[in-house]
Amino acid sequence: MPERQLSYQYERGARGIFIEVYFPKKVIFQGKIFDTLQDGHNEVIVKTRLKANARDLLRELAEYQNLLDPYRYSPTKAPKVPESAIIKAQKRIGMYKSPFKGWSMYEVDGVFFNRRGRTYDERVQVVRLMFRFKSRYTRQAKRDGWYDILRSIILFSMPHRGLLSTERIWDEASKKQFMAMHPNWSRQNKKFVEYFE
């Protein structure tokens, strides 16, 4: 019987984020690392743990006040009666959709400094976490033939890192700047950009 061949369909590149975490290379850590990474893909487990630690998250992310504000990321208006920061954080956590798509591991020899400048060298295990984000517009853009435009907007927006925490990556000003870069686009293409919030 012939061996079954795997084939992969080529897809255009998409933006994602890699985050590397360094651990001392110890056998004792391996099971816990694997279990934690497995749990990290389960939205229910992640939401439960984040909600249980909302107070600590608010303290640790104090400089990123908008990150845990559910009304910044939703068309829903904030209620007239103010909510506690913890309630708002838990609502925001409830909106979480996992962008965690896997991990890879490798080992390296590392040299590290302590607070006094003394060096320590040891073998470390690097876990590279992979995150891929989906736009709520992706399905519609593919269906209506506007996926290239959506991809262009995302690639335009992602590199903007110097924003204040109160600024948005995509707003009316950035939309105008984006449109100025594409003056010859068809009316239909421009219509999608106007629709894109």
Note the pLDDT of residue 150: 86
pLDDT per residue as tens digits for the range 24-67: 999 999 999 999 999 999 999 999 999 999 999 999 999 887 88
Distance (Å, rounded) from C-alpha 125 to C-alpha 122? 10
Phi (first) and psi of residue 133, to 5 degrees: -100, 140
**What average pLDDT is seen over the chain?**
87
> Could you tell me if residue 152 is inside a domain?
yes
Q: Considering the domain boundaries, does residue 89 fall inside one? A: no
**How far is Cα 96 from Cα 92, in angstroms, rounded to an integer?**
7
pLDDT score of 161: 66
Whether 127 contacts 23, CB under 8 Å: yes
Q: How far, in Å, CA of 183 to CA of 1, rounded?
A: 58
Number of domains in the chain: 1
Contact 36, 175 (CB under 8 A): no
Domain contains 154: yes
CB 47, CB 57: distance < 8 Å = no
Distance CA 85, CA 62 (A): 11
Residue 115 falls inside a structural domain: no
> What is the rounded CA–CA span in Å between residue 158 and residue 135?
12
Per the domain annotation, does 194 fall within a domain? yes
Given a contact cutoff of 8 angstroms between Cβ atoms, the answer to whether 192 and 175 are in contact is no
Residue 36 in any domain: the answer is no
Domain that includes residue 192, residue range? 135-197
Distance of CA 161 to the CA centre of its chain: 14
For residue range 130-157, what is the model confidence (pLDDT) as tens digits? 998 877 778 888 888 888 888 888 888 8
Residues 23 and 125: beta-carbon distance below 8 Å: yes
DSSP 27-68: GGGHHHHHHHHHHHT-HHHHHHHHHHTHHHHHHHTTT-GGGG
Say what percent of the chain tops pLDDT 70: 90
- Has residue 122 been placed in a domain? no
pTM check: above 0.75: no
Q: Would residue 76 count as lying in a domain?
A: no
